Structure 1
Amino acid sequence: MDGVYIGATWSRQMRNLMLTSLVVYFAAWAILPAAVGNDGLWVALLLFQGARSIAFRLMLPKLVAATFR
């Protein structure tokens, strides 16, 4: 999805979605390692990637409609 967002010049939206995903990662990173050890770091990374993918996919129809009328 990075290539789609960059190619369509949606860099600002991509930055905002990445910052939102980063907040999810830091929240998980602060909580999970204390609860489940090193596995918590891996789960936090998976949550970051999952949040990023879901956010990109949910924002895509709105951006396509606004850009390519």
Structure 2
Amino acid sequence: MTNPYENKEAFYNQLTSLLSGIPRTDQLLLIADFNARIERDNDKWPLVMGKHGIGKRNSNGELLLAL
């Protein structure tokens, strides 16, 4: 949470680039601590998450959901 947004954006750009090289037919399990809160409101993201989030969505949660 203490990193500047530019660092976070660079990280997610690198992760997106890495993930784009993996065939869609492969199964991938990404495990990490992103310090992301995504809350329960999944109206914008129904194919990404269920209704099991907690807390209020934070900037890390927005970046993770956009990934």
TM-score range relative to shorter protein:
0.3 to 0.5
Which structure's CA Rg is the greater one? 1
When normalised by structure 2's length, the TM-score is 0.36
When normalised by structure 1's length, the TM-score is 0.35
